[in-house]
Amino acid sequence: MAGRGRASGSGVVALCLLLVSLLGSLVACGGRPAADRAEAEVQRLLDRRAAALLDHDESAYRRTGTAVGFTNLRAVPLADWSYEVTAVHRTGDTATADAELRYRLDGHDKAPVTAGRTLGLDRAADGQWTVVSDRPARTSGQQLWDQGPVTVVRGEHSLVLGVGRSRAALHAFAELGDRAVPAVTDAWGTAWSRQVVLLVPRSLEGMAGLLGSPASSYRGIAAVTTGETGAEQAPADRIIVNPDAYGVLGDVGKQVVLTHEATHVATRAHTNTATPLWVSEGYADWVGYRDSGRPPVQAAPELAHAVTSGDVPAALPTDADFGFTGASTSLARAYEGGWMACRMIADRWGEARLGEFYRAVGAHEKRAGAVEGALKDVLGTTPEEFTAQWRQYLRDQFG
């Protein structure tokens, strides 16, 4: 009995050891510890890759994988560049990694810009991972360097990044930006960065890729400004140019567009969900046209035609009227209507009051009551009275 007891005990121990060994193998093959190790390995790889990019060390960068990113980013002034791996999906010696890219442009971004990325990986015979591709995540837009090597031109108040554009063409954008910034400061004040970043892709399709939207959404739109509306620690906005639409504008039109977009950069901290588009877009157009010498009948042709035909708008433009996917004439009338409202405020209450009105609207956390409160507190009027004055102002200007 004693002998059988000892033998039974040894069998139990052996069985336990076998189970532990099998469990360890399973964990190593597919459990979290193995996944954690893969994520840690890839994170170290991307840390080395980021350091090489910031150090302008092409040899070190190439040791981590494809050098396409280094070539395309060579001229971009980066203050920071890092990845945070969120998942690794491995199949044998290949894998894809989900990561969040964070970067800052030197002298322009107060906080990191973030972008979702998907990286393709191969594992070499020595067990080391290398990067074979780095592309936008499925739900993220492209970065400019995803479209090719970036050319960089600096102005006094502007940084211009372009793909497929000559340095002479980018210098022209820098000159426009350098004129826009002082014009915006003269109207809005000095409490903003007084710097703009312009992205100039090769085509409309390139612009749409940066915005993560179909090209049809921006056909005919000369430029847009991106940014985290109302976020005090937001990175600098990017003014993204549609070269197809921008290229057909005259000299005055090009300057108006750039000054309009620079106004969005300046006013971003005071623009939030409480701000209707007729206020934000109307004010940006008011600044853009302020020193252009263009009379209303030239600057607002669609609205002028409607008013002279007896079709005076019954109400100020709604946010829906500013949709890019609608009819171009309706969109133009929305912008022109917002501009004329802001122009009327500047004419009747003064330019300083127009700025106060904008800030007062943005001081609200919610849309409800924001315009009503600003009209009462800053202009001493009501929405009904203001709308009636605006309608009459249209008749007076276009009659």
How many of the other CB atoms lie within 10 Å of CB of 385? 12
How many of the other CB atoms lie within 10 Å of CB of 268? 23
In this predicted structure, what is the pLDDT of residue 14?
39
Indicate if 125 and 99 belong to the same structural domain: yes
152 DSSP assignment: E
In this predicted structure, what is the pLDDT of residue 328?
80
CB half-sphere exposure, 354, CA atoms < 13 A: 27
Domain coverage including residue 108: 32-140
* Domain count across the chain: 3
In this predicted structure, what is the pLDDT of residue 229?
34
In this predicted structure, what is the pLDDT of residue 241?
96
Kindly state whether residue 7 falls inside one of the protein's structural domains: no
d(CA 337, CA 325): 18
H or E element, residue 224: strand 223-226
- Enumerate the H helices of the chain as residue ranges: 2-30, 32-54, 58-62, 68-73, 167-188, 204-211, 243-246, 251-267, 277-289, 296-299, 301-308, 328-349, 351-362, 370-374, 383-398
Q: Identify the segments of the chain with pLDDT beneath 50.
A: 1-31, 228-233
Indicate if 159 and 126 belong to the same structural domain: no
Please give the C-alpha separations between residue 259 and each of 177, 267, 343, in angstroms, as whole numbers.
7, 12, 16
Last residue of a domain, which of 124, 140, 156?
140
Indicate if 121 and 165 belong to the same structural domain: no
CATH number for the domain including 60? 3.10.450.50
d(CA 208, CA 226): 12
Indicate if 51 and 110 belong to the same structural domain: yes
Last residue of a domain, which of 219, 234, 268?
268
- The torsion defined by the Cα of 51, 55, 58 and 59, in degrees rounded to 10, comes to -70
In this predicted structure, what is the pLDDT of residue 220?
87
How many of the other CB atoms lie within 10 Å of CB of 190? 8
In this predicted structure, what is the pLDDT of residue 231?
39
Indicate if 208 and 281 belong to the same structural domain: no
Indicate if 58 and 126 belong to the same structural domain: yes
Indicate if 105 and 167 belong to the same structural domain: no
In this predicted structure, what is the pLDDT of residue 6?
37
Indicate if 310 and 346 belong to the same structural domain: yes
In this predicted structure, what is the pLDDT of residue 148?
98
